Amino acid sequence: MNEKTCAACDYPLDDNAIKVTVGHREVEVCCEECAQKLREAQAKAGA
């Protein structure tokens, strides 16, 4: 069975996962802190 994990930290996801759009893909993260990390990384890559 494939268990979903956080796109930022590989923590197992539960029903409270947060969806974040990175580029043209939607990924799921475990918490707002991980969501912010992905947003910041995307901003740096786009600059």
pTM for the model stands at 0.84
**Which pLDDT tens digit goes with each residue over 6-39?**
999 999 999 999 999 998 999 999 999 999 999 9
Tokens representing 46 are: 């786009």
CA quadruple 10, 11, 15, 18: dihedral sign: negative
Cβ contact 24:42 at 8 Å: no
Task: Give the pLDDT confidence score for residue 1 in this predicted structure.
Answer: 58
More confident call, 2 vs 45: 45
